[in-house]
Amino acid sequence: MIVLTSSASASLSVHAQCELRTIIRFFHSRGETPAAIHRQLCTSYGSTSMSIKNVRKWYREFSNGRTNIHDKARSGRPSVSDNLQEQVESELREDRRVTVRELEEMLQIPKSSIHRIISDLGYRKCSARWLPKMLTEDHKRQRIESSCEVLELYAEEGAEQGPPLIRHRIVKRLKNCVKPLKTDDLEC
Domain boundaries, the chain: 12-64, 82-121, 137-157+166-178
Q: Which fold has domain 12-64?
A: Arc Repressor Mutant, subunit A (1.10.10)
The rounded radius of gyration (Å) of the Cα atoms in the chain is 33
pLDDT in tens, 68-118: 888 777 777 666 788 888 899 898 888 888 889 999 999 898 898 888 888
pTM for the predicted model, two decimal places = 0.37
41-63 pLDDT, tens digit per residue, is 888 888 878 889 999 999 999 99
Residue 33 has a pLDDT of 93
Spell out the SS3 assignment of 41-53.
HHHHHCCCCCCHH
Average pLDDT, the chain: 76
Residues linked to residue 130 through DSSP beta bridges, in sequence order: 125
Question: In percent, how much of the chain has pLDDT > 70?
Answer: 67
Position 131 scores a pLDDT of: 64
Q: Single out the residue of 23, 136, 12 nearest to residue 69, CA to CA.
A: 23
H runs (alpha helix) in the chain:
7-11, 17-29, 34-45, 52-63, 82-94, 100-107, 111-121, 137-153, 159-161, 163-177
154: DSSP letter: I
